[in-house]
Chains A and B, each alone.
Chain A
Amino acid sequence: MADEIRRLSDDLARDPSSLVFLPLADALRRAGQLDIALRVALRGLDRHPYLADAHDVLARIHADRGDVERAADEWEMALRLDPSHAQASLGLGFVDFRRGDFESAERRLSSSAADGQNPAVAAALAHVRFARGSQAANVGNTASNGVRANGAHTMVAEAMPAEVSMPSPPDAIVSRRPAEPSVSSDVRAPSTTAPFAIREYPAPDPTRARQLFVPALEGPDQTALLVDADGLVLAGSYQDATGHDVADIVAAELAGVSSEAERAMRHLGLGAWTSLLVEADAAVVAMTPAPLGSLLVVAASRQTPVGLVRLLLDRALGRARDWLARVS
């Protein structure tokens, strides 16, 4: 393992823009060097923000760190970028499983197992179905036997532990899953600690902030940016046609747009402003007021239908609201 990491590190040093960061981050993760793995993955994502595999490897690292919410975010990103990404689908299946949402877990794993090629996925699916059966059996029994009902959940939580962190989800299932749940595990008292901790108010992560809107967008010709009232970038990115990030200068130029739009509408008595759409030679840019006096900007190539740009704006606004509520 150490040799492999050394070799991959050398390869990445020789060509930092290559995709070697993917196996390197995963090897570091498997070796338990999670902080370094995270740095490598984030650096890779900076260069390849629309690569589904990169989001997948970052998701596994987050899962190993116990941050299942972020892992789920990254797997969702991967699926948006590549709806056929089997590992991401499987990862989300595990997340659903850990959350106790067996129905969704079964649905995701069923779609992954549909081709019948992967026996490990089939085994995972069988386990999910078993857990669903246990859950159903416990319905109605809860009032008289809370230990048993919670015990089933504990069994599930312990059955799917750190294997959301896996070289690949199916491998982990095979290696970590007990063959048959024992009676003793089924009646075990409920754990007093959550199987994984979710930080309610995580500190803003600069790289994550830059990629906040990727899941809401449809392709690399679209970009979104959240700007505060002073014209400073809060989240998102804005790349020009040459790939340079011009977010700061765009944000600065847009400082005060929100207040001017508000004043114009006040003079006219037309109510609160809802959106500002700018058509230019090469792009359509849409803006809308966001919480805390911020301004959300979505841009797309000129070929993008204007109606779709407004739809993207609504989607991105949902993410901006959630994010601001968490970090503010």
Chain B
Amino acid sequence: MNKTPYAELLSMLSRHRGVVGSFVVSERDGLSIDSNVQIGVQADAVAALAASLHRKARLACGAAGCGTVTFLRLDAERGGICAAGRDDLVLVTISEARANIGLLRVEMMRAARALT
């Protein structure tokens, strides 16, 4: 199977402590373009929801004059989702509570700038 241009990037993100999956998703239709997830993670459904959340945040920030969304983080009791987008592409990671979000955030924002 051919590798996508994002395979290396997703592999690198998935090696972070506590990260159980990462993927690149199209914000417009919520379809996953590439993913690197542990077995059992419902990547497609989560990808679509993460893309939708990113889209809503982008539109709300646009309406409020806050400018471009650079990073999004959804926290839950035992982990969460991080997202960083560029144009139509959104880089998403799923992490457990033990993940180092600060480090992940820096890596994701850097990686998102290179998304094309």
Contact = CB atoms under 8 A, between A and B. Distances in A.
Interface stretch (A102-110, A207-215, A280-288): A280-288
A263 interface: yes
Interface in A274-311: 274-283, 285, 299
B29 interface: no
B65 interface: yes
Interface string B33-49: 00000000110011001
B23 to A, nearest CB: 13
A305 B99 CA distance: 21
A198 interface: no
Interface residues of B, number: 35
Interface string A238-249: 101110001001
Interface in B10-54: 41-42, 45-46, 49-50, 52-53
Contact of B66 (A242, A269, A282): A282
Contacts of B45: 264, 267
B27 to A, nearest CB: 13
B72 interface: yes
Given A264-B81, A270-B80, A271-B76, A280 B67 contact: yes
A285 B78 contact: no
A271 B78 contact: yes
Contacts of A20: none
Interface string B84-111: 0000000000101000000000000000
Given A264-B74, A268-B42, A253 B67 contact: no
Interface residues of A, number: 35
A263 B62 CA distance: 25
* A260, A264, A276, A281, most chain B CB atoms within 10 A: A264
B53 A280 contact: no
A130 interface: no
Instruction: Choose among B63, B73, B77, B79 the residue with the greatest number of A CB atoms under 10 Å from its CB.
Output: B63
5 contacts: A267-B46, A277-B73, A278-B57, A279-B70, A281-B70
Interface of A: 238, 240-242, 246, 249-250, 253-254, 256-257, 260-261, 263-265, 267-283, 285, 299
